[in-house]
Homo-oligomer: A and B are copies of this chain.
């Protein structure tokens, strides 16, 4: 194993660490890492199994999970039997909208809590109201942020690309 290969593995394991913190299985993090760092536009099922030293069964489980979460997508190439996988485009942009669903969950939980405290004095409710108001704020900020992202993207992109030379 040469030096770059070693760094490659470390990159993939670091990605796995990061995703594990977010509650994903390590293998899912590895697949994401491999698809981020690969030089070709996609990797086959077999290539993933080989590069990550994992069983084909495990890769199958993991890609199913990641497809269900709209993180990777499967591609079939004409004339090839194999399945190929790549990271979904627009993956990062979508983060802004999927956050909204989580926050709506939060809010519904907080509503339940406030219902429970209905007859209690206002002081007891304040903790929940603070959270409710903060969630309101995030919820109303997200669409605006998405709009600003579209505006800002080209400029930031240009700046980063200039740094590569």
Give a binary string over A4-41; 1 marks a CB under 8 Å from any B CB, 0 the rest.
10011011001100100111000000000001111111
Q: Contacting A148 at CB < 8 Å: which of B11, B87, B93, B141?
A: B141
**A124 / chain B contacts, CB cutoff of 8 Å:** 38-40
Q: Which bracket fits the contact residues of A? A: 35 or more
**A113 / chain B contacts, CB cutoff of 8 Å:** 11, 36-37
Contact A152 B137 (CB under 8 A): yes
> Is A116 an interface residue when CB atoms closer than 8 A count as contact?
yes
> Is A133 an interface residue when CB atoms closer than 8 A count as contact?
yes
CA distance A120 to B95 in the complex (A): 28
Q: Which of A118-138 contact B (CB under 8 A)?
A: 120, 122-125, 127-134, 136-137
Contact B145 A141 (CB under 8 A): yes
> Is A83 an interface residue when CB atoms closer than 8 A count as contact?
no
Give a binary string over A91-135; 1 marks a CB under 8 Å from any B CB, 0 the rest.
011010000000001100100110011001011110111111110
Chain A interface (Cβ within 8 Å of chain B)?
Answer: 4, 7-8, 10-11, 14-15, 18, 21-23, 35-41, 87, 92-93, 95, 105-106, 109, 112-113, 116-117, 120, 122-125, 127-134, 136-137, 141, 145, 148-149, 152-153, 156-157, 160-161, 164
